[in-house]
Structure 1
Amino acid sequence: MSDSASTDIHQAKAKWEWLEPLWLQGGVDLAFNHAGGSSWPVLLDDVTVDEALVIDVSAVPALADPLARGDQFHLFGHVTGALVRTSALTVIERLEDASRIRFRCLYPEYLSTIHRRGTFRAPLRAEMGVITRLALSEEGPAVGVDLCNLSLGGCLLAMRLADAVALTSDQPIFSLALHFPNQQRLELKGYVRHIRTNDEWTRALVGCEFDDLPIDSERLLWFCVKEIEREGARRALSSEKPLEPSGLFLTPEGRRPSQPVSGGATEKPAALVGNAVARQLQRIADYLIAQSLQLQNGGTISPTLLSRHADTIVALGLQGREPLLYALGCLDAQPAPVQHALAVAIRAVDLARQQGLDNETLKAIAACAMVHDLGKASLPVDLLESRAALTEAQRALLPGHVHRISERVADCRWLSPDIAAQVIGQVNERLDGSGYPLGLHGGAIGDLGRMVAVVDVIDALTRASADRAAWPLVEAYRHVLGDATAFDNVWARRYVRLFGVTPVGSLVRYASGALAWVQRLDAQARPSQVHMVLNANSPRRRLDLVLAQRDLDQLGRLEGVAQPEVYGLSLANSASRSPRHP
């Protein structure tokens, strides 16, 4: 594709739609055919459609003589990023006017519009009704995105932060499908060129570059770019003769889309409706994804945002630890690393609070735990997704993610360096020296480092990874309690006593077949309030019952924790149906 693209416009209505913005803005440039590239600013004073133009050259009186003798000239100007140039014109007559120098000229036979591929972007708005779907592979799902702008060479997409986590620079795009209201469809291929966040850190902005296209597809892309630009100009201008709407943005029945279209980048998960704590955790989850994208693209940790979200975690725990732990389960649609980061932060703060630590220390623990794994985005994908035991060469790369985050949080002046060194630097250390990044032994690992190591490994083991299925919680407990050479036994026992074998937010099964989400625990860490959602003996009948201690006996003996996916259940969906939360 050339660096610029030019289109000649002959149709009368289309010519007027490009001329009108020039007339409204008034100023254009005039150049003679023989002037060697020189041009002069003049005023496009009036337009009689399909008949004549009137130009005012009073600012450059020297133009009067060549115009009067019939020298050919062009007018040109810019309309929303495009250079618009008339065909060759000549003067019909000089108008009588004592104070101004004005000429009536021929109406242009055609107009040329020229765009530079590298600089021009046609911006879209939601009300244009363009539905955009992005697929990274032939087998993978297509996700809804918002098309921010379109050019001959590429585009800018806005998408949900959670959908952008898996993207990398130079990643191939299998399909970017644009569906216009008139049922025109344009499918493009290309590569991801950059990923960043918007100013509010609420959406990911993804720059894409297109592959070279066949000539027919290139022409269609160019047509769409021009129509998007013209539709934008039509809505921006106010005139007694408004531009006609582009047919590209009208339905086959000739109507505009009934409501603005979003590809999904701005949609909020319906499952969080009605749960105020879960909505606050959703905002922290969005921050963590955005912060990860910032780091991947050379950015830094935001001290202000990290401080704000750490304060939120501490405050939510003070308001009620069980609603906070329950809300954690409502984030099951978030990327696994984000779920892990929040779970470690919330449970570590909860565990530390039980030992009487002050709020400033709890805030620092929350902040460090939230970001402790963000440096893993810099590790090779094959290392993170390896299904086999890591090689020595791969293991040698692991300490890099700890050093990366440790360096970044050093810019957070409010954060205690000692707490950061323990929570971030020692979370992967083991008492027997088998951990990383420094292979510390026993007494060299601080008390907070020992605590967060227990919290981190229990949560990690109970989540599926590339090389194994999720462990049952009881098995994870046995692992840390039974390996006192690697994990601090005091903190392991404190953890089990506090959260129990049926923790808040887990799905439990009773002898009657009842399946319920645990909302509260009693002093012995046994369920004292549950939200019953299903009876396994009647799986087609969904239930919505919140039962307290005195009602639990009717459910029969507690059999233990059940796997939600086996029954097609999700805590987020269950919580959204019921307004009653712990």
Structure 2
Amino acid sequence: MEWKTTPALSNQAIRTVGRIFEGSHDITIFSDTLAQPLSAQVASLNPASKILTLRVFCPTGNIDDYMPNGLISFDLEKMNRDDSPLLLCFEKVQATHERIYSNLFEIRCVLADSLLITVKPGGVRVPFLLGMSASVMLDVFSGSLAISARLCNLSLGGCRLEVPLEKSMPLTIHQQIPNIHIQFPNGEGFRAKGSIRNMRPFGCGRYMAVGIRFIDLDRETRQRLLYFITESEVELARRLGMENRRAGISSLFLTSTHARKPINASNKRNRLPPMAHAVKEVARQQHIILHYLKNERPFPESILYEGADSLLHLAESDRHQFLYTLRYVGDEATWVRHSVRVAALLGDILLTQPGMAGDAREAIAGILLHAMGKPLLVSEQLPSLDINLRTSQKDLLKHHVKALHQQLHKVGWSPGPVLSNIINDINERLDGSGYPTGKTKEALSKLVRTASVIKIIDTLTHARNGRPALSPLDAYRWVYGNGGYDRQCLNRYVRRYGLYPVGSLVKYSGGFLAWVMRLGREGSPSQVRVVKNLAFEDSKLDTVLSDKDIQQLGKLEAVVDPADFQL
């Protein structure tokens, strides 16, 4: 079947793309050589001429950087109300551009006949869209780590997967995957070995586009794969409304009545308050930086400092709202949550210290970058950072500073003195019990001592390695009794955040749980968001109370761990 030369399909594909552009969607222009993508908007789509016109603002003014040889690549992410988002990639589309004003451009893209289905030397490559789906399970490390994903397209040579950003941490380009299990809605599927041939962030969303090449296919698996490709090809034609196609849906895409529909986490993110979106974007950028480091691509310095600037700006604009917003990173990967919170609190404290405020930007960037060392060590010996670590794995993690420096050297990027100071010394202790070199009090700057206190308190107040989370008071007592930390820095921290820090979850004697939004002069919550009445396990509340109204909740009892209440 020559899809490439079928006018009916070409016209229908253009109309389908037009429908996709209707409603809420994001378009992101990406480059293989630049870290920062560009956001674009559809100016027009002409089905007759097959011209898609995009309008885009390019901060550098050099749009040619994103259009090598007159070709442009862009991603489209369309939100669906109840299902996972539609992710579609347009690669190497012929295009021309015109400068409209200053750094504002219009790009005219020529949509080819092979817009949706491409005929390649290795066979047809079928995209999964218009409700088509197939689940994928990657056994990354045999017997110790499996990652779930969704199928974006399928061909005889391989496939493209949509992997959630937080799950993509163990993956690198050229990595061998010992087992890939692709399963269609009716339960049929196949297994194959593969190799990651390319991967990159998908647009500005929270997905990684991962290209897989199938390897060592035996004859039986190859025949099954041909069957799945053919069925998927015909099913897409049916959904496109092609004539002379069978009327019934392919059995592959008949969903079992017991199948559960995936939860669209994107809709939940869309309901976040504006400042929370900004904090979550810093968290997303942590994954992007790690991806560039692991795959030895040019270091995305602009993304690192963009995150630092964002946290500083938020802390200065509305401090209480900022601290409350940090609770929204609680559902991030542990290393990301930890790095963003510590960086944010360090910035908040440094802004009040005239002698150190000038180093705040570099120090925050240092915290964000320091966090990359541990995920760089993920391997078969250390398949995850979120497990109860054995002694040998804990010893391995102590080499994370060295691993980070080695990777920075490979990508040719050297941090400045303040940033280096944070990376090298934040795990050192005043009494010489820290690592990597066992420095003592005299060798550790006030900036490092401040950052160390923030870091250890955040560690202690979150569960880790089977150890439950401590309350702020218990964490303060632990740090005070440890000779490795500066008590003056600890006292400053306690005075600033108190026993019931903004953003913490507190329990009242009336059985209510509430997020602390603001503190009064005496350090007790003066504004809270009530989210749960423990007398009604399945109920959810969302009520903001202030001052005397808080007394309705009963006596303030303690700070509690949100994970204990699925919050």
TM class, shorter-length: 0.5 to 0.7
Question: How much has 1:211 moved relative to structure 2?
Answer: 5.9
d(CA) in 2 for partners of 1:246, 1:432: 76
Aligned to 2:429: 430
Aligned partner of 1:389: which letter? T
TM-score (norm 1): 0.66
Relative to structure 1, the CA distance from residue 450 to residue 133 in structure 2 (aligned partners, 3 Å threshold; closer, same or farther) is: same
1:219 counterpart (206, 215, 223): 223
* CA distance in 2 between partners of 1:188 and 1:321 (Å): 52
**Aligned-partner Cα distance in 1 for 2:553–2:289:** 45
| Equivalent position SS for 1:354 | coil
Which residue number corresponds to residue 389 of structure 1?
Answer: 391
The whole-number CA distance in structure 2 between the counterparts of 1:301 and 1:128 is 37
SS of the residue 2:430 aligns to: coil
Alignment partners' CA distance in 2, 1:160 and 1:189 = 21
**Kept after mapping to 1: 8 A contact 2:158/2:214:** yes
Among candidates 119, 132, 135, match of residue 132 of structure 1: 135
- Contact 2:294–2:407 under 8 Å retained in 1: no
CA contact (8 A) 1:372 1:405 kept: no
Across the two proteins, how many residue pairs are aligned to each other? 444
Measured in 2, the distance between the counterparts of 1:173 and 1:533 equals 43
Contact 2:126/2:155 (8 A) holds in 1:
no
What is the identity, as a one-letter code, of the residue corresponding to 2:277?
A: R
Spell out, residue by residue over 1:243-283, the C-alpha distance to the aligned partner (whole angstroms, 9 max, x if none).
64765x962699999xxxxx979952515514111111222
Whole-angstrom distance in 2 between the partners of 1:330 and 1:165? 21
Q: What is the Cα deviation at residue 212 of structure 1?
A: 4.7
CA distances 1:394-428 after superposition (whole Å, capped 9, x unpaired): 4763442353466589837xx7x221122222111
SS at match of 1:327: helix
User: 1:452 maps to which residue?
Assistant: 451
Residue from 159, 168, 172 that aligns with 1:164: 168
The answer on 1:270 being equivalent to 2:268 is yes
1:122 has 2:125 as partner: yes
Give the match for residue 193 of structure 2: 190
Aligned 1:96-495 pairs, distance under 5 A: 116-117=121-122, 122-127=125-130, 129-134=132-137, 136=139, 143-147=148-152, 149-167=153-171, 169-173=175-179, 175-179=181-185, 185-191=188-194, 193=196, 196-198=199-201, 200=203, 202=205, 203-210=207-214, 212=216, 215-226=219-230, 244=243, 251=249, 268=266, 270-271=268-269, 273-356=271-354, 361-381=359-379, 382=381, 384=385, 385=387, 387-390=389-392, 394=396, 397-404=399-406, 407=409, 411=413, 417-466=416-465, 468-483=467-482, 485-495=483-493
Alignment match of 1:566 (pick from 557, 564, 567)? 564
How far apart are the structure 2 equivalents of 1:321 and 1:256? Answer: 51
Q: Distance in 2 between matches of 1:266 and 1:544?
A: 21
Number of the residue aligned with 2:63:
none
Distance in 1 separating the partners of 2:555 and 2:284: 40
Measured after TM superposition, the shift of residue 511 of structure 1 is 1.9
Q: 2:161–2:210: 8 Å Cα contact kept in structure 1?
A: yes
Letter of the 1:464 partner, please give it: A
Q: In structure 1, the residue corresponding to 2:426 is in which secondary structure?
A: coil
Distance 2:233 2:191 in 1: 19
Q: Percent identity?
A: 27
Partner of 2:530: 532
3-state SS of 1:508 partner: strand
Structure 2: unaligned runs, 5 residues or longer: 11-118, 256-260
Matched-pair contact (CA < 8 Å) for 1:406–1:424:
no
- In the alignment, is the contact (CA less than 8 A) between 1:462 and 1:473 conserved in 2? yes
Matched residue of 2:137: which SS? strand
The 1:472/1:209 distance shift into structure 2, 3 A limit, reads farther
Supply the distance in 1 between the matched residues of 2:498 and 2:167 (Cα, whole angstroms).
Answer: 34
Secondary structure, counterpart of 2:130 in structure 1: helix
CA distance in 1, matches of 2:331, 2:558: 24
Q: Is the 8 A contact 2:235 2:249 kept in 1?
A: no
Contact preservation (8 Å) 1:272, 1:330:
no
SS at match of 1:560: strand
Give the Cα–Cα distance (whole angstroms) in 2 for the partners of residues 408 and 368 of structure 1.
Answer: 18
CA contact (8 A) 1:145 1:264 kept: no
Q: Which runs of 5+ in 1 are unaligned?
A: 1-13, 25-113, 237-241, 258-262, 571-582
For 1:375 and 1:442, the matched residues in 2 are separated by 24
Instruction: Determine if contact 2:366/2:420 at 8 Å carries over to the other structure.
Output: no
* Deviation of the 1:393 alpha carbon: 6.4
- Could you tell me how far apart the structure 2 residues matched to 1:206 and 1:349 are? 35
Say what the alpha-carbon RMSD is for the aligned residues. Answer: 3.9
1:133–1:144: 8 Å Cα contact kept in structure 2?
yes
Following the alignment from structure 1 to structure 2, what is the Cα–Cα distance between the partners of residues 297 and 536? 47
In 2, the alpha carbon distance for the partners of 1:545 and 1:396 equals 44
Q: SS of the counterpart of 2:184?
A: strand
Structure number with greater Rg is 1
- Determine the structure 2 residue equivalent to 1:75: none
SS of aligned partner of 1:204: strand
8 Å CA contact 2:237–2:245 kept in 1: the answer is: no
Match of 1:101 in 2: none
CA contact (8 A) 1:406 1:425 kept: no
Cα pair 1:462 1:472 within 8 Å, conserved: yes
